[in-house]
Chain A
Amino acid sequence: MEDDLTLWKNIQNGDTRALKVLHDRYYYQLYLYARKIYHNENGLDEAVADCFIKLWTKRNEIVIERSIKSYLFVILRNSLLDLNRKKNHIILLEVISLPDIPDTETQNEFDHYARLYNALEKLPEQRRRILELAVFESCSYAQVAEKLNISINTVKTQMGRAYRFLKEELDPRSINLLLMIHSKFSLN
């Protein structure tokens, strides 16, 4: 896996594939940061896409001081402020209360949730749809079955597989550790 600096060098050389890797790596964190400022969904996807367009357009003019990641957040924040001015004609946002720009070193809530979304994206479509209905919309298994026109049994099976996958995706190392402890304890 390429690190940010290598990606940036490639981007500066005109490599759009590297831009895509960077985009996919930080999309969720940026989206969540924007949503934290705005609390409503309109225009957020535009704002994040806009960040990367700006980065690409000015790739030979920009000098990165801290980190690419911090820089993306700075562009995003400034974009959002501009968007607000243009669309509403009235400045609604109090600049003092913006959430902090995340640092590369410290793990923060955006990284945490981003990992979760990345994992969710890997679920096969129907399984993901079922899980989202049950979790985000608090649907019962019966309601999910009805909405998607499938059997309750299918919902049951898919939910089990969804959680199993997510757990293994987000917490893989401990399985082996636990199996060792488990087998140690059962040798009696």
Chain B
Amino acid sequence: MSDNYDSQWEKIAAKIHGELNPDEEAMFDQMMTEYINLYGFEKAQFIHDNMVKAGPIPAMGRINSWATVENQIRTNQLKWIKVALKYAAIIIVAFMAGNLLRPSAPSVKEIRYSEITIPFGQMSQLKLSDGTKVWLNSGTTLRYPEHFATDQRSVTIRGEAYFEVAKMAGKPFTVNTADMKVEVLGTSFNVLAYKEDAETAVTLVEGKVVVRNTEGKAIAELKPGQMATKNKTETNVEIRNVKTAFYAAWIDGKLFFDDEPLDQIAVKLERWFNVDIVFANEHLKSHRFTGTILKNKPVDQIMQALELLSPIRFRHQVNAIGRDKITIYKKS
């Protein structure tokens, strides 16, 4: 048997993979009458089936993984050396800076600003000159410079925007709204500040932000998962822990509601779908809903869903100038 070992294993492999021709099949069947060969075949088949179940793993997976670990350990060990060198470098540069001062970025007066307004019923996304990504919700205006100043980055919004700010050491990013300034050190957060609303809200997904009042004084510092709300008639800020998913999901075309009254939901729907919503009965405004709305569905479908969940009916009309109006009234 040992002379033919190779040839027998070749047949076993070929049998598993269906590669035997009729002559070889006959030889294989003959081979299987010996228990030791049958056993070998069954084991090999078992190995094959388990390989299929386990599935492929990226080649070099384990080797690359260890390389990553080793590299990181080495990097951490060298960190303290780097820090020492960095401080040395800063001292030298500060010393020389006095002689080399030559401003290359525009001074505050020379900066040119652009303004973009997103109409109701639409949403947009843009990238600023530093790589920061901004998503703008319906009815939002963003004022931003074409090139940022040397020492800071500043934009103004009215409406709702989600920012993913590019990290730039020494160059904080500030979002100005009517009632507060949000200063950021490179990260992702949502700002809600429509003119018509009494409240401004900042929700932090990742990173760190400092919230300042309009005079520039710091009134709160947020950690990820926290939301700060400020009413324009008050001076203090309220901080809560929230599910950030709720407040940022609009950038993916979804809106989550958690026990929210219909009149607040209506305000959001008006902006998203560019419709006017009117209540025939005041008390209908306080019905509460929890759920998810997908923006790419027609507004009627959403109203129909709300009809099923509460004693309301709606009527969708278009007036003479083409403006959509939805009236909500009581189901009789």
Interface residues of A (CB under 8 A from B): 16, 19-20, 23-24, 27-28, 31-32, 35, 41, 45-46, 48-49, 52-53, 56-57, 86, 89-91, 112-113, 116-117, 120-121, 132, 134-136, 140-141, 156-157, 159-164, 166-167, 170-171, 174, 178-179, 181-182, 185
B44 touches which one: A20, A163, A182 (CB < 8 A)?
Answer: A163
B55 touches A157 (CB 8 A): no
A162 touches B39 (CB 8 A): no
B19 touches A140 (CB 8 A): yes
| Binary CB contact string for chain B from 189 to 225 against chain A (1 if under 8 A, 0 otherwise) | 0000000000000000110000000000000000000
**With contacts A27-B62, A117-B57 known, is A157 near B69, CB below 8 A?**
no
C-alpha gap A107/B190 in the complex (Å) = 47
Query: Does B233 interact with chain A (Cβ within 8 Å)?
Result: no
**With contacts A16-B73, A32-B54 known, is A159 near B65, CB below 8 A?**
no
Interface size on B, residues (CB 8 A): 51
B36 touches which one: A46, A166, A178 (CB < 8 A)?
Answer: A178
What's the minimum C-beta distance from A130 to chain B, rounded to whole angstroms? Answer: 10
A53 touches B35 (CB 8 A): no
> Would you list 7 pairs from A and B whose C-beta atoms are within 8 A, ordered by A residue?
A16-B70, A20-B66, A49-B69, A134-B17, A136-B51, A163-B9, A164-B6
C-alpha gap A166/B72 in the complex (Å) = 34
**A-facing residues in B19-45 (Cβ within 8 Å):** 19, 34-36, 39-40, 43-44
Query: Does B5 interact with chain A (Cβ within 8 Å)?
Result: yes
What's the minimum C-beta distance from A145 to chain B, rounded to whole angstroms? Answer: 11
**Which one of A32, A134, A140, A167 has the highest number of Cβ atoms from chain B below 10 Å of its Cβ?**
A167
Given contacts A53-B73, A167-B40, 15 further A-B contacts (CB under 8 A): A24-B66, A27-B62, A49-B69, A49-B72, A86-B206, A91-B243, A116-B50, A141-B19, A159-B14, A159-B17, A161-B9, A166-B44, A167-B44, A178-B35, A179-B36
Chain A residues with Cβ below 8 Å from B154 are: none
B43 touches A167 (CB 8 A): yes
**With contacts A89-B188, A91-B243, A140-B19 known, is A178 near B39, CB below 8 A?**
yes
* In the complex, residue of chain A having the shortest beta-carbon distance to the beta carbon of B10: A160
Stretch of B114-122, B244-252, B264-272, B321-329 with 4 or more beta carbons under 8 angstroms from chain A: B244-252
Chain B residues with Cβ below 8 Å from A181 are: 35
Query: Does B170 interact with chain A (Cβ within 8 Å)?
Result: no
Query: Does B310 interact with chain A (Cβ within 8 Å)?
Result: no
Chain B residues with Cβ below 8 Å from A178 are: 35-36, 39
Query: Does B112 interact with chain A (Cβ within 8 Å)?
Result: no
* In the complex, residue of chain B having the shortest beta-carbon distance to the beta carbon of A114: B54
What's the minimum C-beta distance from A83 to chain B, rounded to whole angstroms? Answer: 12
A31 touches which one: B61, B69, B205, B252 (CB < 8 A)?
Answer: B61
B65 touches A89 (CB 8 A): no
Query: Does B111 interact with chain A (Cβ within 8 Å)?
Result: no
Chain B residues with Cβ below 8 Å from A170 are: 43, 47
Query: Does B58 interact with chain A (Cβ within 8 Å)?
Result: yes
Chain A residues with Cβ below 8 Å from B50 are: 112-113, 116
* In the complex, residue of chain B having the shortest beta-carbon distance to the beta carbon of A49: B68
**Which one of A23, A52, A112, A163 has the highest number of Cβ atoms from chain B below 10 Å of its Cβ?**
A163
Chain A residues with Cβ below 8 Å from B205 are: 89
C-alpha gap A121/B62 in the complex (Å) = 10
Query: Which 5 residue pairs are nearest across A and B when measured between Cβ atoms?
Result: A160-B10, A160-B9, A159-B13, A49-B68, A113-B54
